């Protein structure tokens, strides 16, 4: 077990005083059977009222109602978690889903809903053709197939850190031959959906005390990966950036159908300096 402290500080500086509108924050780690949240603190300057809720996926949402004007906005979260996920997990996949293709039960199929449907336009089925190169036989082992897709992304696509906002579509990533962790996650999730599997995107943090994982900063880093629902085992984490299966190095914050739904901070502002904004982000993920 590892006890980990995550600090995530974001500072916005505007060219002049602006009026800030409502902000939605997704910074509170998501508790799972392998992750226990011990403490969470949120500091916002200028001080503003905060209301908490949960979205449709069960993510904790902090709604911040800004008042007045300011030329600086600082948002700092600090969380302490216990991580118990094994680095080499064994998944209790149901016999009915051990081999692909398999069919979800009626209730699971209904509840997964849009998570099974591809989210990006692909009129020529190019992504399905790319995945077909990996599915060498049918039936085939389900977990091995998903692992091969994850590894295939890393083998064919070069990792490139990108600080700018936004995420590439899966076809863009294939065409360009490079992408960030969130681009890899989107490509993997969409590939799983072309096979009729339920997949969701995950945002959070990468815990890497040995500094050997791709995408890990010196002090720590935000990260993105995907999960696929497999009957019996439930949601299985796949981190194609690091060719990893399971959540041994992963601290989830939010899950969603679309990567745009789990941005850490979303908000609005009004004023002449609205187009003149600089942003500084500092993330620390350290053993307590």
| Mean predicted confidence (pLDDT) in 21-41 | 97
pLDDT at 101 over 80: yes
Cα distances from 137 to residues 26, 212, 233, in angstroms, run 41, 34, 23
Instruction: State both tokens at 227.
Output: 């999960």
| Mean predicted confidence (pLDDT) in 85-94 | 95
Q: Could you tell me which residue, 43 or 162, shows the higher pLDDT? A: 43
pLDDT at 162 over 80: no
Which residues contact residue 179 at a Cβ distance below 8 angstroms, ignoring those fewer than 6 apart?
A: 157, 158, 159, 160, 168, 173, 187
pLDDT at 273 over 70: no
- Within 13 A of 79's CA, how many CA atoms are on the CB side? 23
Q: In the prediction, which pLDDT does 28 show?
A: 98
Which residues contact residue 73 at a Cβ distance below 8 angstroms, ignoring those fewer than 6 apart?
A: 11, 12, 14, 20, 44, 45, 46, 66
pLDDT band at 271 (very low <50, low <70, confident <90, very high): confident
Euclidean distance between CA atoms 193 and 109, whole angstroms: 13
pLDDT at 268 over 90: no
| Mean predicted confidence (pLDDT) in 197-225 | 90
Instruction: State both tokens at 226.
Output: 């995907």
Burial 178-187 (b: 16+ CB within 10 A, else e): ebbbbbbbbb
pLDDT band at 16 (very low <50, low <70, confident <90, very high): confident
Q: Ranked by mean pLDDT, which of 60-74, 191-205, 210-224 comes out on top?
A: 191-205
The helix or strand, by DSSP H or E, that contains position 181, with its residue range, turns out to be helix 181-194
Euclidean distance between CA atoms 169 and 178, whole angstroms: 12
Euclidean distance between CA atoms 239 and 150, whole angstroms: 7
pLDDT band at 275 (very low <50, low <70, confident <90, very high): low
Q: In the prediction, which pLDDT does 270 show?
A: 82
- Orientation of helix 142-156 relative to helix 181-194, angle to 10°: 140
Q: In the prediction, which pLDDT does 247 show?
A: 96
Q: In the prediction, which pLDDT does 50 show?
A: 96
Cα distances from 202 to residues 121, 243, 273, in angstroms, run 21, 16, 33
The lowest-confidence range among 121-135, 160-174, 235-249 is 160-174
Q: In the prediction, which pLDDT does 86 show?
A: 93
What is the phi/psi pair of residue 62, to 5°?
-105, 120
The helix or strand, by DSSP H or E, that contains position 4, with its residue range, turns out to be strand 2-25
Q: In the prediction, which pLDDT does 15 show?
A: 84
CB 63 within 8 A of CB 219: no
What is the phi/psi pair of residue 212, to 5°?
-115, -10
Which residues contact residue 83 at a Cβ distance below 8 angstroms, ignoring those fewer than 6 apart?
A: 1, 2, 3, 4, 34, 35, 207, 248, 251
Cα distances from 270 to residues 25, 45, 225, in angstroms, run 19, 17, 34
pTM of the model: 0.95
Q: In the prediction, which pLDDT does 117 show?
A: 97
CA of residue 84 relative to chain centroid, distance: 19
pLDDT at 219 over 80: no
Q: In the prediction, which pLDDT does 272 show?
A: 66
| Mean predicted confidence (pLDDT) in 243-250 | 96
Q: Could you tell me which residue, 133 or 136, shows the higher pLDDT? A: 133
pLDDT at 123 over 70: yes
| Mean predicted confidence (pLDDT) in 49-56 | 97
| Mean predicted confidence (pLDDT) in 60-87 | 94
């Amino acid at each position: 077990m590892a006890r980990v402290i995550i600090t995530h500080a974001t500072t916005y500086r505007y060219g002049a005083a602006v009026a800030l509108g409502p902000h939605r924050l997704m910074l509170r780690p998501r508790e799972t059977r392998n992750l226990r949240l011990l403490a969470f603190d949120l500091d916002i300057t200028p001080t503003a009222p905060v209301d908490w809720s949960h979205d449709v996926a069960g993510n904790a949402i902090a709604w911040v109602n800004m008042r007045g004007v300011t030329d600086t906005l600082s948002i700092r979260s600090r969380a302490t978690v216990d991580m118990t996920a094994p680095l080499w997990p064994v998944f209790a996949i149901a016999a009915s889903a051990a081999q692909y293709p398999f069919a979800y039960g009626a209730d699971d199929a209904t509840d997964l809903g849009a998570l099974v449907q591809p989210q990006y336009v692909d009129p020529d089925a190019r992504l399905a053709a790319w995945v077909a190169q990996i599915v060498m036989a049918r039936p085939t082992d389900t977990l091995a197939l998903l692992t091969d897709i994850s590894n295939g992304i890393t083998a064919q696509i070069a990792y490139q850190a990108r600080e700018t906002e936004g995420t590439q579509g899966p076809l863009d990533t294939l065409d360009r031959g490079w992408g960030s962790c969130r681009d890899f996650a989107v490509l993997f999730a969409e590939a799983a959906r072309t096979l009729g599997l339920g997949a969701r995107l995950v945002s959070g943090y990468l815990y890497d005390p040995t500094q050997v994982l791709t995408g890990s900063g010196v002090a720590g880093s935000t990260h993105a990966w995907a999960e696929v629902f497999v009957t019996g085992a439930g949601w299985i984490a796949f981190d194609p950036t690091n060719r990893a299966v399971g959540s041994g190095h992963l601290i989830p914050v939010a899950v969603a159908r679309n990567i745009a739904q789990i941005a850490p901070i979303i908000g609005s502002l009004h004023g002449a300096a609205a187009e003149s904004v600089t942003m500084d982000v500092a993330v620390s993920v350290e053993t307590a």
